[in-house]
Amino acid sequence: MRVVERLNAARIVAIPAAIDAATWPTGALAFRLAPDEVLVTASTPAGVIDDAHAIVERETGFSAVWVDSAQAIDFLERECDWELPRERPAFAQGMVAGLPLKLWFGQDRVLMVVASPCAADLAERLR
């Protein structure tokens, strides 16, 4: 069974222009959840956002697992009712196998992010 582990992340709510102009820590992934909201896979200091009223909080509610691209695409093509992005890298989110997932499609692997209470369910579906 795959291990779905707690995701080290920060959630930021700020004006869209500030999010567009932000420079994220090296190696961090930034998932645009809404025009004024981003989930960053790192503990992000408030200084990266040029918005005095930004909300920057540690996000502890998600878990994630990296899956080899071929295995992930095989799983997603069976379990996903919506069209997957064709270009890489890409971010997408929606229902997959009855679970709300956030997906980061890298060149050779896919990061699957799920609400932590659903982590065991995702691991079971990936078996």
For 36-49, what is each residue's pLDDT tens digit?
Answer: 999 999 876 666 89
- Mean pLDDT on 15-20: 97
pLDDT at 2 over 80: no
pLDDT of residue 101: 98
All structural domains of the chain, each given as residue ranges with its CATH number in brackets, are 5-61 (3.30.70), 63-125 (3.40.1840)
pLDDT of residue 99: 97
Q: How confident is the model at residue 1 (pLDDT cuts 50, 70, 90)?
A: low
- Mean pLDDT on 25-35: 93
pLDDT at 24 over 80: yes
**pTM of the full predicted structure?**
0.91
Query: What are the backbone angles phi and psi of residue 35, rounded to the nearest 5°?
Result: -55, -35
CA torsion, ordered 51, 57, 92, 103, to nearest 10 deg = 150
Q: Which helix (H) or strand (E) holds 99?
A: strand 99-105
Q: Which comes out higher in pLDDT, residue 46 or 122?
A: 122
For 69-108, what is each residue's pLDDT tens digit?
Answer: 999 999 999 999 999 999 999 999 999 999 999 999 999 9
Alpha carbons 36 and 54: distance in angstroms, whole number: 10
pLDDT of residue 29: 94
pLDDT of residue 44: 66
